[in-house]
Structure 1
Amino acid sequence: MLAASRQALPPVRLLCLAIAATGAAPLANAAFIEDSSASLTATNIYLNRDFRQFEGQNKREEWGQGFRLDLQSGFTEGTVGFGVDAMGLLGIKLDSGRGRTGTDLLPVHDDGRSADEFSRLGLTGKVKISATELRYGSHVPELPVVKASDSRLLPQVFEGGLLTSSELEGLTFTGGRLDKVIDRASTNSEEMVLNAKNRRFTSGVEADHLDLAGVDYKFAPGFTGRYYFADLDDIYRQHFFGLLSSHKVGAGTLSSDVRYIVSRDSGAANAGKVDNQAFNAMVSYGLGSHKFGLGFQDMSGDTGFAYIDGSDPFLVNFVQINDFANADERSWQARYDYNFASIGVPGLTFMTRYIRGDDARVAGTDDRGGEWERDIEFKYVVQTGPLKDLYVRVRNASFRSDFARDADENRVIVGYTLPIW
């Protein structure tokens, strides 16, 4: 990995460039200014992952501070509106050390040491006609076929063009092309790479771009249907079918999220065969301060699930450490959430879940294996006063596998978003 200091912008310069970008349009367009907004998000993360073994690196432990400045303009007046957004990102090392790197909180230099700081600037031009908007530049997408990871100091950022249209009531169309990615602990714009976790596919296979298109349609009260198509150039094509529902049942609310994803290889890239059908679903019932959930995930076909490296796979059993997405793997999840407001502690919530997978095909062998993960999280959000909306999250996870490295992990996350205007 290239050293971050060779690519990073100084923090003060980054901030000035971001502010200047949002003022680039003519000031005579009142809506461009009046509809603008700005916020600063600060995220502090301590992450400790212990691999419970002595071969190779057995521990990753780092602490860092991230800042994200979001500046969003309104649109110029007229039938066709123009605008520009800016995103300034800065990560700072608070604690690390050679032999403890690799948490993805910070970039790692060639000498094995983590960078003291790293920063990026993302600019996005936008054009709007009626209820249709085209955005070209930097994106942090949350779509079934490409979901940027946002679980470290700075988010993963994709570059390219995306169009969204809501001209028809209840229906939203999304489409576009993404051609570069900047990973969470990086300053470099790079090609998209196929994830090869557990040697599912050939490592390092790159794609020139990702084409995508999809619709979300609220076809009845409490029901939303989803379909998305994606083509990761010369690697795989993917079809996503989804159904979301939420209804009152008795004194509580029953919700479900059902997903079926078909992935097939395409083109001539040497990625190895991609052949996967992933069915997964989560059903939850919320009653007062309690919420109970059951999840199921089934992988069929000749390979495991295919997705872009560094991104979050859109699977219900993708959790804190593992994704349970190996070839032939079948996994179940039991989840429980509790809100302490009912006993006089508003802002405090609790979550725990247990996921167990079995019959996973171990790549390169005839073996089958099982694995499990248990996650626990407490989160507190300050309700009043000058620190209102500041949150603290404490997360713990244990992962055990017959064929992958065991791990215990702890995270402490403190975050706050300050609206500037």
Structure 2
Amino acid sequence: MSKTPLARAVALATLGASLALPAVAQAAFLEDSKASIEARNFYFNRDFREDAGQSKQEEWAQGFLLRLESGYTEGTVGFGVDALGTLGFKLDSGDGTSGSGLLNPDRSGGSQDYYGGLGLTAKAKISESVLKVGSLQLKNQAIGSSDSRLLPQVFRGGNIVSKDIAGLTLDAGYLDEVNNRNSADYEDMTLNQFTLSGITFGGNPNQSNEFIFAGGNYKLTDSLTGGYYYSNLEDMYKQHSFNLVHVLPLGDKQSLKTDLRYARSTDDGVSNVDNKAFGAMVTYALSGHSLGLGYQKMSGDTGFAYVGGTDPFLVNYVQIGNFAAKDETSWQARYDFNFASIGIPGLTFMTRYLTGDNIDRGALADGKEWERNMDIAYVVQEGTFKNLGLKWRNATMRNNFGRDIDENRLIVSYTLPLL
């Protein structure tokens, strides 16, 4: 693939920032710098509950993430550079059990012994506006980089975020390629395809090298925030996304949070995307307890549209499923408890149950599915092992149109600050 103008700009910007470091090593640039290394040990087991096909995905891997973040040089325009180095090693991946997303696949159907990369990001700051060009991890209504496996998903492009107006955050970006969670190379982006999404491409390839987005969030009152984003995956889809979040204080250590989301997605020439997605989540919190009820409804000719491998901005996107198939209606009940409220800081628990139905299966009976999740996590708060994290994620998925799944993820992580 030939290099795009953006790719050349990224290369020149990051190279220029790296070469200029000795000359711009001013106080703020160095004193505000941060660096850390995270060791992430990840065991993944997905058991398919029937005999046909691959019976399970089971892999164990060790990852390392080096994060460097400089401060800014002095002056009206401050310049800096960030870096993300990643490296993943295979510890175990038996015959026929690959495909978990932890490791880089090889041509024989197994997994490679190791993979990784180095991402550089040049940045400039004026007042409260920051421009970044290079490797990006994004999390907004339009696109969310996934970090639910060994190594994170990283995009290549440019992003500007402005907070110059009190209460208002403006956000815009251009992306041309993605380095997925289990990949060592950048590649074109895709439109995510999932079971019964109803999305087709009319014989065209599912790939795009341009994603643009623009939007922001505004704090309308102390308790109400509104957001809007426009996004376009070239040739694949266009999307308008709206969000309202209201937090109502109810007394001592009590609150009621309402999160409303709506997205309208249409095709952009190659696909047949046509979707309206509505979601609502209401959460009551009391001390360390929180109880949430969620509702999500899909309508239109297809399911929800989003960039492949990312975390979609949906209230019912969970560990395995997204509950976003064509015409699907789904409900969620969720309970969280933070043990800090009873004197055990760092220990948290979450469980939720989701059920979806009315999925369009053509001439067949409507599709149905349900999923149950449980997370238990603990992060050591002090002492020799401070920042050591332990997490167990358990999930069960059942449906009448695909494979049943039992899944466990065990994650041990340790973050060591270097600066």
Q: CA deviation at 1:320?
A: 0.6
Looking at structure 2, the residues matched to 368 and 58 of structure 1 have their Cα atoms a distance apart, in angstroms, of: 26
Is the partner of 1:88 in helix, strand or coil? strand
Report what 2:324 is aligned to. 325
* 1:74-99 per-position Cα deviation (integer Å, ceiling 9, x unaligned): 11111111111111011111111220
Is the partner of 1:160 in helix, strand or coil? strand
Change (3 A) 1:25 1:163: farther
* 1:178-227 per-position Cα deviation (integer Å, ceiling 9, x unaligned): 01001000011100001111153237511120010001101100211100
Report what 2:403 is aligned to. 405
Counterpart selection for 1:88 from 77, 80, 85: 85
Looking at structure 2, the residues matched to 192 and 334 of structure 1 have their Cα atoms a distance apart, in angstroms, of: 33
* 1:354-393 per-position Cα deviation (integer Å, ceiling 9, x unaligned): 000010112x645411100001111112122111121111
Report what 2:188 is aligned to. 191
Report what 1:213 is aligned to. 214
Q: CA deviation at 1:22?
A: 9.1
Report what 2:165 is aligned to. 168
Q: CA deviation at 1:103?
A: 0.5
Report what 1:180 is aligned to. 177
Report what 1:315 is aligned to. 314
Q: Within the alignment, does 1:129 sit opposite 2:126 as a pair?
A: yes
Looking at structure 2, the residues matched to 420 and 365 of structure 1 have their Cα atoms a distance apart, in angstroms, of: 60
Is the partner of 1:143 in helix, strand or coil? coil
Report what 2:258 is aligned to. 256
Change (3 A) 1:167 1:54: same
Read off the aligned partner of 2:310 and give its amino acid letter: S
Q: Within the alignment, does 1:79 sit opposite 2:81 as a pair?
A: no
Correspondences of 1:331-410 after superposition (within 5 Å): 331-362=330-361, 365-410=363-408
* 1:262-316 per-position Cα deviation (integer Å, ceiling 9, x unaligned): 100113x2x2x11101000111111122110000000011110011111111111
Q: CA deviation at 1:27?
A: 4.3
* 1:21-51 per-position Cα deviation (integer Å, ceiling 9, x unaligned): 4973524422211211111112111110001
Contact 2:333 2:352 survives alignment (8 Å): yes
Q: CA deviation at 1:396?
A: 0.9
Read off the aligned partner of 2:69 and give its amino acid letter: Q
Read off the aligned partner of 1:189 and give its amino acid letter: Y
- TM-score normalized with structure 2 length: 0.92
Counterpart selection for 2:30 from 25, 28, 33: 33
Give the total of aligned pairs: 400
Report what 1:138 is aligned to. 135
- TM-score normalized with structure 1 length: 0.91
Counterpart selection for 1:106 from 93, 98, 103: 103
Counterpart selection for 1:44 from 41, 45, 50: 41
Counterpart selection for 2:53 from 40, 52, 56: 56
- Percent identical pairs in the alignment equals 52
Contact 1:357 1:370 survives alignment (8 Å): yes
Read off the aligned partner of 1:290 and give its amino acid letter: H
Question: How much is the aligned-residue C-alpha RMSD, in angstroms?
Answer: 1.8
* 1:110-141 per-position Cα deviation (integer Å, ceiling 9, x unaligned): 01221111111000011111211111000110
Looking at structure 2, the residues matched to 417 and 222 of structure 1 have their Cα atoms a distance apart, in angstroms, of: 34
Q: CA deviation at 1:143?
A: 1.1
Looking at structure 2, the residues matched to 30 and 400 of structure 1 have their Cα atoms a distance apart, in angstroms, of: 57
Is the partner of 2:220 in helix, strand or coil? strand
Is the partner of 1:40 in helix, strand or coil? strand
Looking at structure 1, the residues matched to 67 and 109 of structure 2 have their Cα atoms a distance apart, in angstroms, of: 32
Q: Within the alignment, does 1:224 sit opposite 2:225 as a pair?
A: yes
Counterpart selection for 1:149 from 141, 146, 157: 146
Looking at structure 1, the residues matched to 402 and 258 of structure 2 have their Cα atoms a distance apart, in angstroms, of: 31
Q: CA deviation at 1:343?
A: 4.3
Q: Identify unmatched segments of 5+ residues in structure 1.
A: 1-16
Looking at structure 2, the residues matched to 220 and 395 of structure 1 have their Cα atoms a distance apart, in angstroms, of: 36
Contact 2:24 2:73 survives alignment (8 Å): no
